[in-house]
Amino acid sequence: MSYTGPDFDPHEPRRPRRVPLAVALAALVAGGLLGWLLYEVTGDSGAVGRPDAAGAVSGTAPGSASRPPSSSTAPSATASPSASHGAGGGDGKPGGVSGGSGGTGPLAGRVVLVDPGHNQGNFRHTGEIGRPVDIGTNRKECDTTGTSTDAGYTEARFTLDLAHRLRALLEAQGATVRMTRDGDSPAWGPCVDERARIGNDAHADAAISLHADGAAAGDRGFHVILPGTVHAGGADTRGIVGPSRELGERVAGSFVRVTGDAPSNYLGGGTGLVTRTDLGGLNLSTVPKVFIECGNMRDSKDAAQLTSGAWRQKAAQGISEGIVSFLRGS
């Protein structure tokens, strides 16, 4: 939702003043010198973005992408030049959005792919996202618009905010984080096959795709989707099924512990784990990867949590701890 600023009364018309030219020039020079001195003393510090209760971020530090604050300062992210559809992106193919280069910490040298599901721009590019792509077992649409709460809070907005929070936590542990999209880049998508390819090309040690479900009211809870065994067309998940299950189990366990939420009451038989072979983002991955459906946007109780910035921070913490545990083997 966009907010309109307050209305302001129109300015009173200025009355002309007669100031001698010499006095005006002297004031101009003095003001310029004062401004220069202030700049030299203070520098260009910029504004730090802070999330509101709904997770919207206002203000950005120079040269960084908007992201919510964390307990630790994380490197800023920059988008690669090819990461925008139809906006000077060369051949028009989406590229990965780079995260911080990682630092010191237990995950130094490890790469994590964070994939915020869907894209706000998909609503304006239905033709592009409806284009079929090969997912190994068959062909499916490039992407979808995703779901939303009854009040209109979209899944794409939710997943991007959660991704920013997760990225900050992982970078604080020293990981290098790659994202499939960030902010308005790319303008739509990427397609599901490209989302998998970004993680593969990054040689990610772990990859996670963030989502929220659109099930019937009364269906509650989260579930983690694991890749099933697929060996067809361009898909071969045989090498990642085992490690992906371990990743999923650790993420599910830490998600319950940190958020206090129960696993899905409508999928997974109470385990919070579901195996699927019809998702291109999993079928085409060559690195350990899972999806997480963090709750049901169509249930009022789940929706109240998904739209809470405080809850999203806990969700990011739970996911982060699962990934850290998987990568450290502890």
Catalytic residue annotation: 293
φ, ψ of residue 270 in degrees (nearest 5): 85, 0
Residue-wise DSSP of 163-212: HHHHHHHHHHTT-EEEES-BTTBSSS---HHHHHHHHHHTT-SEEEEEEE
Residues in the chain: 330
What is the helix (H) or strand (E) element at residue 39, kind and residue range?
Answer: helix 21-42
What is the helix (H) or strand (E) element at residue 31, kind and residue range?
Answer: helix 21-42
Is the distance from CB of 165 to CB of 68 less than 8 angstroms?
A: yes
φ, ψ of residue 140 in degrees (nearest 5): -135, 165
Three-class SS state of 292: strand
32, 56, 144, 212, 325 from 122: Cα distances, Å: 48, 20, 7, 16, 34
User: What are 68's two structure tokens?
Assistant: 């919510």
Q: Residue 154, by phi and psi: left (phi above 0), alpha (psi -120 to 50) or beta?
A: beta
91, 127, 141, 221, 233 from 130: Cα distances, Å: 19, 5, 5, 29, 21
Is the distance from CB of 303 to CB of 151 less than 8 angstroms?
A: yes
C-alpha 150: how far from chain center? 22
User: CA-CA distance, 93 to 50, in Å (whole number)?
Assistant: 32
Is the distance from CB of 121 to CB of 187 less than 8 angstroms?
A: yes
